[in-house]
Amino acid sequence: MRRILAATAALCLTAGGSSSLAYLKLGAIVNGRVVDATWHQQPIGFFISTRDGSGATAAELRGAVERAAATWSSAEPASVRLQFQGMTNALAEGADGLNTIGFLARPDLDRVLALTSVMVDSATGAIYEADIVINTSFAFSVAPGGQPGRVDLESVALHELGHFLGLGHSAIGETEITGGGTRRVTGHGAVMFPIALSAGTIAERVLQADDIAGVSDLYPTGAVAFETGGIVGRITKNGQGVRGAHVIAFNPETGVLIGGFSQGAAGDFVIARLPPGAYILRAEPLDDADPSNYFPHPVDTDFRVTYAPRMVAAPKGGASPPIEIRVLPR
Amino acid sequence: MSFLRQGGRLRHCVLAAVLWWAWPAIAVAQQAPALRPGHFTLGAAVVRAGTYDIGDATAQLTGNAPGVSPPPFTLFQARSRLTAATLPEFTLGFAFTRRLALEAGASLSSPRVAVAISGDQEAPAQELPGEQLGQYQFEAALTWQVPMRIHRRIAPFAIVGGGYLRQLHEGRTVVETGEVYFAGAGARYWLRGASGRSLAFGIRGDARLNVRRRGIDFENLTRSYPSLSLGVFLGL
């Protein structure tokens, strides 16, 4: 009998409203081991709900989603095929056997732009159904150049399709606390950052290196394993592992920024699918968004931003020798 | 007798001092030292290679502003350089003529990639200890002894050449390669065999300007740096 694991991930206008169970990749426990939650068959079909939203019709939603799907499908060196299968009267929620994307009123989620539900077969780790709700509490836009005061629908679709494919949230981003006590993004380096840019922006229509590394890790082409490398290491504080530290790898030659997290009590981290080369590593606490956007358990955020003492090379087809980054309490 | 002998020594010393200070003028009439045509030369030297920048880079995030290309947000800036290094170098030369020789050399060094971090709003500016490279250089050069007779044991020369550079990152998992071209000048001082007719032995030093292409460089620019070399040679 197939057991079901449901996970949800959301794109927030501001932090604080999402109920998510996600990190870089969605996972499922299969036979006691955590495996990536991925679609095991392609193309991955989806339907668009016929309901119109605020500022955008269902047809416009279809256009935005198809553009976003094409963006994910063209991400190299990943191998993803998303396919529109038709319009449906079904709602974008519940286990009905359809992968549905549609507008739905969710006034209870007053800070959540959109929400993706992913259903995973816990016997295999395969995603067998996913739905995306676009919250009609917000005004959306499909204007090619964006529209002041309205959230770009294609950007939201691109983020949610990342969850639809099995990606969790990225932590490559910086935020500031506004006068109202909410967070405002000052900059981000991944479409999968959990907090959206301000209404009117369209910069999130483009996948960044961290997004591409993530999707390549989930859906690698045959050559990916030989063409990319990894960095492994450990974050420690006073000799103990740090759980939930965010580690950014920056390649000064290409400008690429790709992130990873220390997981487990030992503080071990792995950053995979890196283009080969030398990287500067920067460890930071998860304090630019609600940590629950990444982990279902508490994380250690009581440490200062710390750089690895040396650059670390990610070799083609392999992993670096382990490096330890020792952080200090704030 | 004793006084005379002492006086004689004194005169020799004075004469030697005069000759020493006046050697450039007198040397014109002397035979300049020379290489031994058709013979090989072995050399070993200590080289001090200077530091040079290998690139500035800025870690940027997409800024939060309307439009297709909002101004980026700077996460931090990194300025990298290869530190100075002292390295052993071994050469094998072949003298075509009394002035012209071809040399092949190899050297091994361990410079560091030092990285200075700045512009991080959450961390102070700092210089990271850096990564220790394994750096190999294999080179070939022509030396040409300048026809300038300044001393019976000393001969200046010009050197020009190029080589293959191989840089291994720490852990030896990633290799980067490049080329080095150089030109400079130096001098050989023969301790024996300056005539070019017998086994020779001496001291050699040179100063070079090196130009490096490719290799570890975060801006993929051509870089230049000085180097000084001091060693011994054995003319077979």
A contacts of B134 (beta carbons < 8 Å): none
Report field, pTM of the whole predicted structure over 0.90: no
User: Which of B54, B60, B62 has the most A C-beta neighbours within 10 Å, making it the best mutation to test the interface with A?
Assistant: B62
Signed CA dihedral, A192, A82, A209, A316: sign only:
positive
CA distance linking residue A272 with residue A315, whole number of Å: 11
Decide if A255 and B171 are in contact by the 8 Å CB cutoff: no
Q: CA triplet B41, B47, B52: central angle to 5 degrees? A: 140
Q: Which of A145, A174, A320 sits opposite B73 (nearest CB)?
A: A174
A contacts of B75 (beta carbons < 8 Å): 174, 187, 189, 248, 250, 257, 282
Cα nearest neighbour of B63 on chain A? A187
What residues contact B90, with CB distance under 8 A and at least 6 apart? B42, B43, B44, B45, B105, B106, B107
What pLDDT digit, counting tens, does each position of B34-65 carry?
A: 888 899 999 999 999 999 999 999 999 998 87
Decide if A282 and B68 are in contact by the 8 Å CB cutoff: no
In single-letter form, the type of residue at position A254 comes to T
Count interface pairs A-B at CB distance under 8 A. 143
Decide if B123 and A201 are in contact by the 8 Å CB cutoff: no
Helix (H, G, I), strand (E, B) or coil at B19: helix
Q: What are phi and psi of A91, to 5 degrees?
A: -85, 155
* Letter string b/e over residues B64-83, b meaning 16 or more CB atoms within 10 A of that residue's CB: bbbeeebebbbbbbbbbbbb
Query: Are B15 and B9 within 8 A, CB to CB?
Result: no
Tokens of B31: 């035979």
In single-letter form, the type of residue at position B236 comes to L
Which long-range contacts (C-beta less than 8 Å, at least 24 apart) are formed by A31-38?
A35/A125, A36/A125, A36/A166, A36/A217, A36/A218, A37/A5, A37/A7, A37/A118, A37/A120, A37/A125, A37/A126, A37/A127, A37/A166, A38/A125, A38/A126, A38/A127, A38/A165, A38/A166, A38/A218, A38/A219
Decide if B65 and A198 are in contact by the 8 Å CB cutoff: yes
CA distance linking residue A327 with residue B122, whole number of Å: 13
Decide if A185 and B64 are in contact by the 8 Å CB cutoff: yes
CA distance B34 to chain A (A): 48
What residues contact B179, with CB distance under 8 A and at least 6 apart? B162, B163, B164, B165, B212, B213, B214
Tell me whether the omega of the peptide bond preceding residue A77 falls within 30 degrees of 0, making it cis: yes
In single-letter form, the type of residue at position A15 comes to A
CA distance A207 to chain B (A): 11
* Distance from the first to the final alpha carbon of chain A: 49
CA distance B85 to chain A (A): 18
- Fold annotation for B33-53+85-113+131-235: Porin (2.40.160)
Kindly tell me if the per-residue pLDDT of B5 is higher than 50: no
CA distance linking residue A131 with residue A125, whole number of Å: 17
Cα nearest neighbour of A258 on chain B? B59
A contacts of B215 (beta carbons < 8 Å): none
CA distance B154 to chain A (A): 46
Q: List residues in chain B touching A: CB distance below 8 A.
A: 55, 57-70, 72-73, 75-76, 78, 80, 113, 115, 117, 120-123, 126, 128-132, 169-171, 173-174, 216-220
Cα nearest neighbour of B65 on chain A? A201
Query: Are A284 and A245 within 8 A, CB to CB?
Result: yes
Q: Which of B59, B115, B220 sits opposite A311 (nearest CB)?
A: B115
pLDDT of residue B130: 86
* Cβ-based burial of A1 (10 A; exposed 0-12, middle 13-18, buried ≥19): exposed
In single-letter form, the type of residue at position A224 comes to V
CA distance linking residue A17 with residue B181, whole number of Å: 61
* CA atoms lying within 13 Å on the CB side of residue B70: 26
* Distance from the first to the final alpha carbon of chain B: 46
CA distance A206 to chain B (A): 10
Q: What are phi and psi of A318, to 5 degrees?
A: -150, -165
pLDDT of residue A253: 93
Q: Which DSSP symbol is given to A25?
A: B
Domains and CATH numbers, chain A: 4-217 (3.40.390.10), 224-327 (2.60.40.10)
Tokens of B3: 């006084």
A contacts of B116 (beta carbons < 8 Å): none
CA distance linking residue B11 with residue A258, whole number of Å: 79
Cα nearest neighbour of A143 on chain B? B67
What CA–CA distances, in Å, run from B177 to A9, A228, A254, B167? 45, 19, 18, 6
CA distance linking residue A145 with residue B101, whole number of Å: 68
Decide if B66 and A321 are in contact by the 8 Å CB cutoff: no
Cα nearest neighbour of B171 on chain A? A321
What pLDDT digit, counting tens, does each position of B110-168 carry?
A: 999 999 999 999 999 999 988 899 999 999 999 999 988 788 889 999 999 999 999 99
Query: Are B66 and A201 within 8 A, CB to CB?
Result: yes
CA distance linking residue A117 with residue B229, whole number of Å: 68
Written as tens digits, the pLDDT of chain A (330 aa) is: 343 444 555 554 433 322 222 236 777 777 777 788 899 999 999 999 999 998 899 999 999 999 999 999 999 888 999 999 999 999 998 889 999 999 999 988 888 999 999 998 888 889 999 999 999 999 999 999 999 889 999 999 999 999 999 999 999 999 988 887 788 889 999 999 988 888 888 988 999 999 999 999 899 988 877 888 899 999 999 999 999 999 999 999 999 999 999 988 899 999 988 989 999 999 999 988 888 878 878 899 999 999 999 999 999 888 889 999 999 998
CA distance A189 to chain B (A): 5
pLDDT of residue A323: 94
What CA–CA distances, in Å, run from B120 to A285, B38, B76? 14, 62, 4
Cα nearest neighbour of A328 on chain B? B123
pLDDT of residue A24: 65
* CA atoms lying within 13 Å on the CB side of residue A168: 23
Residue ranges covered by each domain of chain B = 1-30, 33-53+85-113+131-235
